Amino acid sequence: MPRGVICCSMRFPAKHVFWKIPLLIPVAGLCSCGNLAGPSAQNSPPKTVALDPMMAGRALAKTTLRATVLAAVRQPVTTTRQGLSVLWHRPREIVAGNIPPDLAVSPAIAEAPGSAAFEKLLDRRGFPEAENGSLKWLVDGKGFFPELDRQIASARNSINAQIYIFDNDDIAVRYADKLRARSADVKVRVLYDDFGTATSHLSSPVTAPPRGFEPPPDMRKYLRDGSEVEVRLALNPWLVADHTKLLVFDDTTAILGGMNIGREYYNEWHDLMVRVEGPVVAQLAREFSKAWRRNGSFGDLAMLSKPKHFSKPAAVPGGIPVRILRTDAGIGKHQILDAHLLAIAAAKKRIYIENPYFASDEIVLAVRAAALRGVDVRVVLPAEGDSAIMDIGNLETAKVLMEAGVKIYRYPIMTHMKVMVCDGWATMGSANLDTLSMRINRELNISFSDAAEVERLVSTVFRPDFARSKRLGPKDVQSFTSGFAEAIADQL
């Protein structure tokens, strides 16, 4: 096979049936509640210790009202932009996913990921400039939560937490109590996604809470009561979510990645966060500030005021250039998708991916093209995720990639990691490989090209996970419903 890239006008064989299109149009409307396919729609029984059905119904009704009426009043510009984005990207994904195959070969990108030339390419393409920072990998709850404990306890001035889901289980209550206690000494601000959190309260973790535990029905009220904690909800115009996970301490240390506050992340799922220190944290502090201001009483008007200046923290020993990447459809940012596609198209030797929801046609086809030109491609998917439709959609993705020679691994439990390595370049953060994360929701990733740090990530995540996982064969990815499920998963 000549060195080249198969252009993304090709689509999956299982989807070359146009009868799906009229069926998927109403599904696309339903799936504007995309986060219903995430942690809020686990394959688990209803909570027996949480909200009764009437209380749950009222909570969801209030959330929906805030997502429509309140968001339109406070954030008219954001609501309009996000609405146009949803109206464009959802039908686009349906139609594009059913275009018959049209193979073409274009020259591969010359700049190898991880090289200085590739970083200069990202600069020329208008990606945010890299800033110096140090990285510490926090694997699973046993890595993240002790670090969170240390940062909460040692903060001197401020704790700013942006979370997609602040659950109401015993683990979430434990950390709410820590934040409440520290609010007497330092400024504590918590921003969580309204719809994501509200729907998560309706499903149970796998492991049982302590006997007699009663989850609070309203975490905003719980965080505020008897404390100085400031709480804001990230509103959901068009039910678009802010899927960001970012915690900033004293504007000098940040933690980001894929984990929320709740029991699943504490001891049930496999996941990844990273602690960041150094000058790049000023960029992350600004990102929190933007989200906080946008979701205040003045909404979009607050974005017209002069933003706070964040001084860059001092450089730290062992720091490397770190680049911040965002998805924000409201302002036309698709940096995470664009960086993924560039790195995949430029990869010469290896592509390692671990992600729970792999449904983006653009990325699947770029990965398939890389495998066909001889790149060693390996993908880790969960054995059983938290969404049946996404699990079946992953099977279709796995089938298509395996036909091109990609090695597919099934991790024994739910892996919620969102991480990729292409040659000597890596990215990780909150973004799934699906339409929501790539084009619609707000997401936050980092990327970097330091050779030693990339190898540290490979040794920390990929080598152990390849060893723990089962490599799949053709018979493992057969499903009568996977083609249609993948088409639905495209919308999630």
| pLDDT at res. 57 | 73
244-280 pLDDT, tens per residue? 999 999 999 999 999 999 999 999 999 999 999 999 9
Q: Which of 243, 237, 161, 162 is nearest to 196 (CA)?
A: 243
Structural contact between residues 85 and 330, judged by C-beta atoms closer than 8 angstroms: yes
What global pTM score does this model have? 0.88
Which residue bears the tokens 């923290």? 313
What's the pLDDT at 87?
A: 82
CA torsion sign, 126 to 128 to 134 to 137?
A: negative
Q: 114-151: per-residue pLDDT in tens? A: 999 999 999 999 999 999 999 999 999 999 999 999 99
| pLDDT at 103 (0 to 100) | 44
Predicted pLDDT of residue 373: 94
- Looking at residue 448, the DSSP 8-state letter turns out to be E
Q: What is the pLDDT of residue 253?
A: 98
Contacts of 473-482 with C-beta under 8 Å, sequence gap 24+, read 474/399, 474/402, 476/398, 476/410, 477/395, 477/396, 477/398, 477/399, 477/402, 477/408, 478/395, 478/399, 479/392, 479/395, 479/396, 481/392, 482/14, 482/392, 482/393, 482/395, 482/396, 482/399
The pLDDT score that the predictor gives to residue 384 is 84
Of the candidates 392, 371, 364, the residue with the CA atom closest to the CA atom of residue 97: 364
So what's the pLDDT on residue 454?
A: 98
pLDDT value of residue 32 = 36
Residue 105 has which token pair? 């070969």
CATH for the 5-128+322-489 domain, from 1.10.150.120, 3.30.1330.10, 3.40.50.2300, 3.30.870.10:
3.30.870.10
- Which DSSP string do the residues of 176-241 spell out, in sequence order? HHHHHHHTTTSEEEEEEEHHHHHHHTTB--SSPPPTT----S-HHHHHHTTS--EEEEE--GGG--
Q: Do domains 5-128+322-489 and 131-320 have the same CATH topology?
A: yes
DSSP character string of 396-429: HHHHHHHTTT-EEEEESS-B---EEEETTEEEEE
Q: What are the residue ranges spanned by the domains of the chain?
A: 5-128+322-489, 131-320
Strands 419-422 and 407-411: unpaired
CATH for the stretch 131-320: 3.30.870.10
Which token pair is 101? 């195959």
Question: Splitting the chain (492 residues) into consecutive groups of 10 residues, what average pLDDT does each group show?
Answer: 35 38 37 38 42 69 88 91 82 60 58 97 97 98 98 98 97 98 98 94 84 93 98 93 98 98 96 98 97 93 86 93 95 95 97 96 94 97 84 90 97 97 98 94 98 98 98 84 52 54
| 292-307 as b/e: b if 16+ CB within 10 A | bbbbeeebbebeeeee
